[in-house]
A = this chain, B = another copy of it.
Amino acid sequence: MTKVFSERLAAAVRAKKTPVMVGLDPRWELLPEVFTEGKDPSDRASVAEAFELFCKAVVDIVAPMVPIVKPQAAFFEQYGPVGMLTLGKVIRYARNKGLLVLLDGKRNDIGSTAQAYAAGLLGEHSPWGADALTVNPYLGGDSLEPFITAAKQREAGIFVLVKTSNPGGGLFQDLVADGKPLYRHVADYIASLSAGLGGYGEVGAVVGATWPEQLAELRVAMPNSWLLIPGYGSQGGAAKDVAAAFDADGLGAVINNSRGILFAHRRKEYEKYGSAHWEKAVEAAAGAMIAALAGETRAGRLK
């Protein structure tokens, strides 16, 4: 690697002319039949193998279209060590296809243990070796430090949860202390880590597409952070909802869609393809999202 993560991400977004990120959230019950038929869902190795084949096939489709994919650790971890082995294979496959890979693990712990997570999931000798990792801020600044150190050493990135896309995310994140909500305290802390950088740093932030107003506020509050925006599509966010996430060049944010692309063959708009031609549904859904963002946001200015 010759460039820091924020620059590699900018270059990748420019090269593909889109900020679309495809979430790799394999779910047995939603897979196209070709991956499940004749297989036993109670056999973890069979499920993991189906996940591997499915995710690799998705990567083959989207690698020419988008800059980055986001495997969700939970769906692999659910099937035990064999699932985690598959996660590693999918990450390596996607990187070999020229994609950046953000591992969505939302890990954290107290400092000395956070070091182990940082080394394991992000460090130089990581068995998974993703380009970036999502991290939970509840444990405070000293819990984030080992991740930032590991990210700097490996020219990787982290994305700290700020305002999550789920309906109940506000229960604690919206509590107002000292005149501003908790999510804003987290955002201001993140901003302080990259203050004066004059560009994007290795500490990004997660802000849900389901909160367009706060997204605009948080874009301004964290001028040096790449934003990861989940919640587009299945969760209700649309292109106009994420318009405020981008800078003047159409950079600064990646917009994730998982189910809406992976399992597009189950969506009304793409049911004509059916399970048999699920790849065409994936391609069409990714293409539609790319077009929507290009048409309705500054992502259209990417060059």
Contact = CB atoms under 8 A, between A and B. Distances in A.
Given A78-B120, A107-B106, A172 B182 contact: yes
B169 A140 contact: yes
Interface string A131-169: 000001111111100000000000000000100111111
A139 B230 CA distance: 13
A109 interface: yes
A214 interface: no
Contacts of A75: 113, 116
Of A120, A142, A167, chain B has the most CB atoms within 10 Å of the CB of A120
Interface string A110-128: 1101101101110001011
A78 B117 CA distance: 6
A256 to B, nearest CB: 12
Q: Which 10 A-B pairs have the closest CB atoms?
A: A80-B127, A142-B168, A78-B120, A175-B177, A140-B171, A110-B166, A140-B168, A74-B116, A81-B85, A138-B138
Interface of A: 25, 42, 44, 72, 74-75, 77-85, 88, 104, 106-111, 113-114, 116-117, 119-121, 125, 127-128, 136-143, 161, 164-173, 175-178, 182, 185-186, 189, 230
